[in-house]
């Protein structure tokens, strides 16, 4: 299966996001918004939904931050490892702000 790693413009904040060096990026490092485009494998772009996903939680596991995202349409959840350029300091405030999408 071919993985797709591409640059994109964030659908939520409009930031231009460059492709990741070692993985398939699927979220904005500024606002952490993502699109539900991947299926079970990062970068496979096999999901049918295509709606916005937002972070709802994060944890420090094995010295890496794992961010839990949820789709605003179908409710699917998945964890992503933090990218080196993610503005993780903003994540708690953003999670609180994004709760409005899941009420």
Q: Is the pLDDT of residue 81 over 80?
A: yes
Residue found by looking up tokens 């179908």 in the block: 74
Give the pLDDT confidence score for residue 1 in this predicted structure.
57
Could you count the other beta carbons within 10 Å of the beta carbon of residue 31? 20
Mean pLDDT of all residues in 66-75:
95
Q: CA-CA distance, 74 to 39, in Å (whole number)?
A: 13
Domain ranges of the chain: 8-102
Q: Rounded to an integer, what distance in angstroms lies between the CA atom of residue 28 and that of residue 43?
A: 15
In angstroms, the CA 92 to CA 24 distance is 24
Is residue 45 scored above 80 in pLDDT?
no
DSSP string, 9-27: E-TTT--EEPPPSSS---B
């Amino acid at each position: 299966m071919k993985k797709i790693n591409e640059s994109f413009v964030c659908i939520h904040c409009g930031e231009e996001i460059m492709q990741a060096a070692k993985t398939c990026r699927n979220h904005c490092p500024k606002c952490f918004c993502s699109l539900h485009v991947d299926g079970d494998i990062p970068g496979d772009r096999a999901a049918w939904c295509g709606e916005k996903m937002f972070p709802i939680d994060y944890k420090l596991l094995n010295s890496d931050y794992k961010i839990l995202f949820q789709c605003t349409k179908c409710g699917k959840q998945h964890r992503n490892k933090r990218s080196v350029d993610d503005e993780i300091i903003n994540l708690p405030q953003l999670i609180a702000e994004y709760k409005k999408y899941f009420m």
